[in-house]
Amino acid sequence: MSAPSQLRTPWLPRLVVAPSFLLGFLFIYGLIAWNGYLSVSESRLLPNYEFAGLDQYRALFDSERFHVALTNMAIFGVLFVGGAMALGLLLAILLDQKVRAEGALRTIYLYPMAISFIVTGTAWKWMLNPGLGLESVVRQWGFTSFTFDWLVNPDKAIYCVAIAGIWQSAGFVMALFLAGLRGIDDSIIKAAQVDGASLPRIYWRIVVPSLRPVFFSTLMVVSHLAIKSFDLVMALTAGGPGYATDLPATFMYAMAFTRGQIGLGAASATVMLATVAAIVVPYLYSELRRPK
C-alpha cells in the first residue's frame, strides 16, 4: 500500500460518519437547546425570543392541569413499571421451566411489543368502551347488571391506560428476564435441589436475586417508556375525560400545539427531559464505571 493511501485511510471512516454525526448533533442537541430557550422566553402562539426568566416555569407549576398530569404520571408510572416487571418476570419464570411449545408462547407474549402504541390504544379503546366492549359483551351473556365504565370515569380512566401499557410491555420485559435466567448456571439450581430446597424457594432466594443487573436495566428502560408516554394516551383516551388522563407529554402537546402556549409547552418538555436525564444519566454512569 502506498504512503498517501496509508495517510488517508484513518480519516476515511470519520469522513463517512461526519455528516450524520453533525446532522444528529444539530437536530437533537440543537433543538433541545432551542426548546430550552423557548421555555424562558415570552413565546405564546409564535416563538418570541424576548427573555422572560422563569415565568413559564412558574405558570407551569401553578397550572392545575399540570398537577393532574404529574399525579397521573405517578399513578401510571408505578402501575406500568411495577405491573410490567412483575408480569414479565412471572412469564419468564414459567417459560424457564422448559414447557412445551416454548417458542410459540414466547412469540405470542412478545408480539404486543411489535405493534405500535397507537394500535394498542385503539384496540383497548374498543375493548373497554362500555357501549361495544367488555361491558356490552358480558351484558349480552345475561349479566345485565355488570358495569365496567372505567374508560369514561375520570377517576379510573388512568388505570385503563396502565392496563394497556402493561399488556404491551410485559412481553418485552419477559424477554429481558428470560435472557437473564438462561444465563444462570444450572448447577446452582441442581445443588439447591439436592439440599432439599423447593423450586419456589430456589427462585425467590437464589435465582431472582442474581438477576439484579437485569432488574436495574429493565427498570431504566420501562421507566423511560412511562415518562415519555404519549401515543398510547392519545389513542386510548386523548387525555380525557376532560384532562383526567393527561400525562406531561400530552400536556406539553396540548399547550404547545392546541392552546398556543409554546413557552409553557417548552417548559413542560424541559421538565420531562430533566426527569428522563435523572433516570438515564446515573445508569449510564454506573455502566461506564463498571469494570470490563
Per-residue cell: 217: 436495566
For the chain, the structural domain boundaries read: 59-289
Convert the pLDDT of each residue in 228-253 to its tens digit.
889 999 999 988 888 899 999 999 99
Query: From CA 167, how far away is CA 119, in angstroms rounded?
Result: 12
Determine contact, residues 44/263, Cβ cutoff 8 Å. yes
Query: From CA 235, how far away is CA 154, in angstroms rounded?
Result: 16
Is residue 235 classed exposed, middle or buried when 0-12, 13-18 and 19+ CB atoms within 10 A define those classes? buried
In this model, does residue 160 exceed pLDDT 90? yes
User: Which fold, 59-289?
Assistant: MetI-like fold (1.10.3720)
Residue with cell 347488571: 145
Convert the pLDDT of each residue in 194-220 to its tens digit.
777 777 888 888 888 888 888 888 988
In this model, does residue 81 exceed pLDDT 90? yes
pTM to 2 decimals? 0.84
Residues β-bridged to residue 51: 41
Cα–Cα distances in Å, from 212 out to 85, 180, 195, 215, 281? 13, 10, 24, 5, 19
Query: From CA 89, how far away is CA 175, in angstroms rounded?
Result: 9
Q: Which residues contact 283 (CB under 8 A, 6 or more apart)?
A: 216, 217, 220
Cα–Cα distances in Å, from 145 out to 135, 150, 154? 10, 15, 21
Closest CA to 206 of 222, 218, 219, 190: 190
How does residue 50 score in pLDDT terms, banded at 50, 70 and 90?
Answer: confident
The pLDDT value recorded for residue 90 is 92
